[in-house]
Structures are given as structure tokens and as C-alpha cells.
Amino acid sequence: MTIKPVEEIIREIKEHYDEEPKGWRVLRGKDQRGHYNTYISSPTFLWQMKTELKNPYQPVGVGTIVTEDVSKKIKKIMDTGNPLPFADVYPQKKDFAIIAMGIGNYSPESTDRLKGIISSKQRDLESDLNSSLNKLLQKEGLYMGYI
């Protein structure tokens, strides 16, 4: 799994969405460190992004594709939680931005359950995402000293 900046991940997600715009889900929750874990699933793919907010609408962070086989169990977890309206702006390199908006679900408990069923490598992925996010936050001047 390759960890990329969220701007690249969201561009990848948009390309898949443009091909198949039905059956998508968004689940967001905060982890123990206060970082946002956002999972976005298409009918077949699941991505995870770990972010902090640079401003109310612009996340700064990293992400990766987690699986190319979204099971019924994953879909069921993605549908749990409280309704969450979201509108995030992801600047791109050539003077435009991708705006992701809609209604998802918010549940830290559900994101934890999802992490538990995705794979045995999720603990390593979580550590890698946290490390990459902390480096990015430090570069952006937003680092809060997380261990």
C-alpha cells in the first residue's frame, strides 16, 4: 500500500466515482490522537485517509487504498453512525480544486470496528499513516507533538 497526500487520494477517488457514481459511502471518526479517520468506499474499493483540518473546509493529511474487495460486512459498518454532512476542499496542482460534499456517517466506534476487520496489517498501516501525517503537519506548521 502506498501512502499519498490526500489531494492525490481524492483525485484517485474522483476518477473511480466518475466511472461508477452509485453505491458510495463515507465514514468518519476521530482516533485516540484526535486525527480524523475517513473511510470512503465505492462498491468495490475502500480508501482510508488520516487528516487534520487546516481550516474548516480543507483537510491536510495522507491516505491509501485499503482494499479492492469491499465485503458486505464492510458496507454494513460504513452505514453505521450519526449522519454527517461534509464539504471538503482538496486543492490540486493546476489552479483548481476537487470539492467533496455529501452526507456520510460519523462514528469513532465504527471506524475502530472497521479497522479491526480490514486486515491483520491494519496496525502497521495505522502507524504508517500517523507517522506520515505527523511529518506533513510538521511541514505545514500544524504539528501538535503527537507521539
**pLDDT of the residue at 23:** 94
Question: Which is more confident, 25 or 58?
Answer: 25
**pLDDT of the residue at 14:** 95
Q: Give per-residue pLDDT as tens, 45-54.
A: 999 999 988 8
Is residue 25 included in any domain, yes or no? yes
Contact 33, 52 (CB under 8 A): no
Domain that holds residue 35: 4-139
Q: Give per-residue pLDDT as tens, 71-122.
A: 899 999 999 999 999 999 999 988 799 999 999 999 999 998 888 877 666 6
Q: What is the number of domains present in the chain?
A: 1
The pTM (predicted TM-score) of the whole model is 0.86
Q: What is the rounded distance in angstroms from the CA atom of residue 66 to the CA atom of residue 122?
A: 9
* CA nearest neighbour of 69 among 39, 104, 43: 43
Residue 66 has pLDDT above 60, yes or no: yes
H or E element that contains 4: strand 4-5
Is residue 60 included in any domain, yes or no? yes
**pLDDT of the residue at 147:** 45
Is residue 96 included in any domain, yes or no? yes
Is residue 147 included in any domain, yes or no? no
